Structure 1
C-alpha cells in the first residue's frame, strides 16, 4: 500500500472546506493549510477568519495566511515542509511557477466547472446565467496559466430549473471533495492520465461585481430569470423604483406577449407583480425593499404599492 501523501492544502471560502475535511479523513497528511488573511467584515468591521481557517483549527496543523505568496519567506516555508502535493481549491491567489515546482508530484486544483468552459473566478454563477444545461467539477494539474492545466478527472451534474448559485455551490462543493479523493487514489495507483485542455474552446467566468446585478429589462424574461438565480445570494439581482433599490430573489417566466416598455409593471391579479421585458413577462415572487427583509411578493405588496404602469429601473439609481 502506498504511503500517505504529504499535502499542503490551499483554499479560502466555504466551497473549499469539504475538500479539506475529505483529505484529512482520508488518511493523507495535511502538513499545512494556506488561506487568505483574516479580513474585516460586517457593519462592525470585525476581523473575521476565512472559512478554511475556521475548519483547519479543528486539526493540529500549521495555518499560513500570507498577504502574497510571492515572497522568498513564503517560498522557503513551503519548501521546508517537503510536500508531495499541493491541493488548491478557490484559494484566491495565483501561484507562480516557482511554487508549483516545490511538491514532488505537482499541484492539483479543484475547479467548479467542466473545463475548459468557465475558467476563472465565478464559474458557478456564470453557468446558470449563460443557461448551461449542465456543469460539474474538474481536477487538473496546475500550471502557470489561469485554469489552463491538464485535466485529470471530471464529474457532471445537471443544472435544475430552480438551481441558484447557492444550491449549485453546495452540490459542487461536495462533488469536488469526492472527486479530489478519487483523483488522489488514482494518482497513487498510477492510473491517472492527464488530458490537455482544448484551449480554443475555453470560455471565461469573470469575477462578479455588485453592479452586474442591475437588471436590464430589455432582455428576454428567460435571460433575466437566469440572472436572478445566478446572482443569488451574491451579489443579487436588483432594479429600482423611484430611486429605491429592489432586490429580487425569485421570479418565473410568463409566456405572454407584451407590447409596452420593458420594465413596466403590467396588469395582474392582487398579490402578484408582473413586469414587461424585452420578450414575454416576468412574475416576481420574492423581493427585498426598504425594510431589508426578503419577502414573498404578496407580503411585500401589502406594505409597498406598485401600481400598474410603474416603470422599474429609474434613472435615479443608488450605487
Structure 2
C-alpha cells in the first residue's frame, strides 16, 4: 500500500509534536484531521484563549481540528469516526481510551521520547538526564491498555553529552521523533497489500512489524510527572547527582533551593532557581554551605565536592550569571542553602 493511501489522524499538543505533524504533512502523508487539547485560558484574568502549538500549525495548513474536553464524549467519537482513519499517530498527547486507540483498522502508534521499556511516563526526557544517562532515544509503539507498554515498532538512539541539559535533548528528540514517525508509517505501508484484508489479516501483518517490550530481568526506570516539590535540590547528595539533577530540569521547570540567613534577619528565606553548574575537585565541608571567591564565583558544598553555580534566577528576576547575581546581593555572605 502507498503511504498516500493511508488516512492518518494526528494527535498531539505541544511544540514537541509539531515537528512530527509537519514532517508528515510536508512529505506527502495523508493527514485527514488533527486532534489536540482545547484552547487554554491565559492572562491575568484568564480571559484570553491560547491555542496549542499543534492547533496553530494545523490551522495554517488548513487541516480540520478537533478539540475534545473528554475523549469519550459521544459527539467527539462520532466526529472522529467520520474521518475513517486507517491509522492514528500520537505525539505528546494524553491518555486515550480503548474506544479511541482501537478505532483505526491499522491501530494507533505513539512516538515516545525514550528507549522503551525504560522511562515510561510523562517526563522521560527530564528523568533520563536527571539519572545521568549517556543515551536515550525515541520509540514508536502500538498503544494498548496500559501506559507505554505496547508492542515496539522501531527505536532510534540519541546520545546525551555530559554537558547537555533538557533543552538540548528535547530539541534533538523532537526532530528524531519526526523521522521515526515517518519511518513507522512507511514500514506499516510497506507491509500492507493493496487488496482488502479481514481484521485478523491486518492484525497478523501489524504484529509482524512490531515486537513485545523486553522487561524480564531489566531494572526499569520510571518517568513520572514532575511537580514543583520534585525540583527541590538536596545538597546532602554527591555533587555529580546534583549536577545531573539541575541540568535535568533546565531550563524548565528549573531546579530550586532556598537561601537561609545564617544570622540576623531571623527567618528570612530566599528561593532561588539554579540552571547551570560545573563540577570541581574541591572537597566539601558541610552540605549547603557556600564559598564565594572574589565576588564573581560561587561554590556550594555537597556530600563530597564543591559544586560551582553558573546561572541562577531569583523570584521575580531574570535569569543571570553568578557574577551579576553576586554583584546585586551584597549580604550574600550571611546566607547558606
Q: TM-score range by the shorter chain?
A: over 0.9
Q: How does 1:15-30 map to 2 (within 5 A)?
A: 15-30=16-31
What is aligned with 1:310?
335
Contact kept? 2:13, 2:93, Cα under 8 Å? yes
Q: Which whole-Å deviations, capped at 9, do the CAs of 1:67-101 have from their partners, x for residues lacking one?
A: 11012222221111110100000112x11111122
Aligned to 1:177, the other structure's residue is in SS state helix
Contact kept? 2:295, 2:327, Cα under 8 Å? no
What is aligned with 2:238?
220
Aligned to 1:17, the other structure's residue is in SS state helix
Aligned to 1:240, the other structure's residue is in SS state strand
Q: 1:267 to 1:26 in 2, by over 3 A?
A: closer
What is aligned with 2:11?
10
Aligned to 1:263, the other structure's residue is in SS state coil
Provide the rounded CA distance (Å) in 2 between the counterparts of 1:43 and 1:239: 27
Contact kept? 2:23, 2:178, Cα under 8 Å? yes
Give structure 2 stretches of 5+ with no counterpart: 193-207, 260-267
TM-score by length of 2: 0.88
**More displaced stretch, 292-301 vs 233-242:** 233-242
1:263 corresponds to 2:288: yes
1:142 corresponds to 2:143: yes
Aligned to 1:157, the other structure's residue is in SS state strand
Contact kept? 2:243, 2:279, Cα under 8 Å? yes
What is aligned with 2:248?
230
What is aligned with 2:262?
none
Contact kept? 1:265, 1:309, Cα under 8 Å? no
Aligned to 1:204, the other structure's residue is in SS state coil
Provide the rounded CA distance (Å) in 2 between the counterparts of 1:15 and 1:284: 29
1:295 corresponds to 2:323: no
Q: 1:302 to 1:44 in 2, by over 3 A?
A: farther
Q: Which whole-Å deviations, capped at 9, do the CAs of 1:211-257 have from their partners, x for residues lacking one?
A: 21111110111111111111112221111124111111110111222
* Structure 1 position 290, deviation (Å): 4.5
What is aligned with 1:84?
86
**More displaced stretch, 122-131 vs 195-204:** 195-204
1:273 corresponds to 2:298: yes
Q: 1:103 to 1:291 in 2, by over 3 A?
A: closer
Provide the rounded CA distance (Å) in 2 between the counterparts of 1:306 and 1:196: 59
CA RMSD of aligned residues (A): 1.7
* Structure 1 position 310, deviation (Å): 2.9
1:283 corresponds to 2:284: no
Contact kept? 2:326, 2:332, Cα under 8 Å? no
Provide the rounded CA distance (Å) in 2 between the counterparts of 1:43 and 1:234: 21
* Structure 1 position 196, deviation (Å): 0.3
* Structure 1 position 51, deviation (Å): 0.8
Provide the rounded CA distance (Å) in 2 between the counterparts of 1:258 and 1:237: 21
Provide the rounded CA distance (Å) in 2 between the counterparts of 1:292 and 1:44: 22
Q: 1:99 to 1:267 in 2, by over 3 A?
A: closer
Aligned to 2:70, the other structure's residue is in SS state coil
Provide the rounded CA distance (Å) in 2 between the counterparts of 1:307 and 1:26: 56
Provide the rounded CA distance (Å) in 1 between the counterparts of 2:151 and 2:325: 50
1:208 corresponds to 2:226: yes
Contact kept? 2:299, 2:307, Cα under 8 Å? yes
Aligned to 2:5, the other structure's residue is in SS state coil
What is aligned with 1:175?
176
What is aligned with 1:198?
214
* Structure 1 position 43, deviation (Å): 4.0
Q: 1:306 to 1:252 in 2, by over 3 A?
A: farther
Question: Which of these two proteins has the greater Rg computed from alpha carbons?
Answer: 2
* Structure 1 position 4, deviation (Å): 2.6
Provide the rounded CA distance (Å) in 1 between the counterparts of 2:148 and 2:174: 17
Q: How does 1:45-60 map to 2 (within 5 A)?
A: 45=46, 46-60=48-62
Provide the rounded CA distance (Å) in 2 between the counterparts of 1:291 and 1:54: 30
1:252 corresponds to 2:278: yes
Provide the rounded CA distance (Å) in 1 between the counterparts of 2:292 and 2:125: 35
TM-score by length of 1: 0.93
